Amino acid sequence: MMRDEKHRTQKASKAKCPVCGKPRDPEYRPFCSRRCADIDLGRWLSEAYAMPMPDSEAIGDPDEPER
């Protein structure tokens, strides 16, 4: 059990902040600082992150019943 905990700690210490690439801080996980966490939140709120969607024509009219 002790070995697993050590492995997780080593793995976590090698993990990088998704915003700036610096080592992660457990207090702001998965980020390195409050600043990077706020930058990421701002990106979500400004819709900078987006999932690709198929064209609306390919989906069809949601009010139209399926055949």
Is 17 part of any known ligand binding site? Answer: yes
Q: Is 20 annotated as a binding residue?
A: yes
36 carries a ligand binding annotation: yes
């997780």: which residue's tokens? Answer: 8
> Residue 15's closest CA among 28, 3, 4?
28
Structure tokens at 50: 């987006």
11 is in an annotated binding site: no
Q: Which residues are annotated as a binding site for Zn(2+)?
A: 17, 20, 32, 36
Q: Which residues are annotated as a binding site?
A: 17, 20, 32, 36
